[in-house]
């Protein structure tokens, strides 16, 4: 997820430099969505790792 977010952020930067404002904005939006999804998954897995999976073993 973070790799995809970084790729879309680089695409947005390149499009912005070349003057493609609409495409840059769309790529930046996708990068932000992928980043926050990755953060949410990391938080959920951290909480599960500290609670449920610790009790199983």
* DSSP letter (8 states) at residue 1: -
Angle at 29 between CA 15 and CA 4, to 5 degrees: 80
Q: How far apart are the first and last CA of the chain?
A: 29
21-50 and 2-18 helices, crossing angle to 10°:
160
Rounded average pLDDT over 2-20: 94
Domain borders along the chain are 2-56
Question: Residue 57 above 80 pLDDT?
Answer: no
Q: What pLDDT, on a 0 to 100 scale, did the predictor assign at position 1? A: 84
Q: What does the block give as tokens for 7?
A: 């790729």
Q: Per-residue pLDDT tens for 24-55?
A: 999 999 999 999 999 999 999 999 888 887 66
Question: Residue 3 above 80 pLDDT?
Answer: yes
Q: What pLDDT, on a 0 to 100 scale, did the predictor assign at position 2? A: 87
């Amino acid at each position: 997820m973070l790799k995809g977010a970084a790729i879309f952020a680089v695409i947005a930067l390149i499009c912005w430099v070349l003057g493609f404002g609409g495409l840059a904005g769309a790529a930046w939006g996708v990068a932000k969505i992928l980043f926050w999804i990755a953060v949410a998954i990391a938080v959920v897995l951290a909480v599960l790792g500290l609670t449920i999976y610790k009790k199983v073993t």
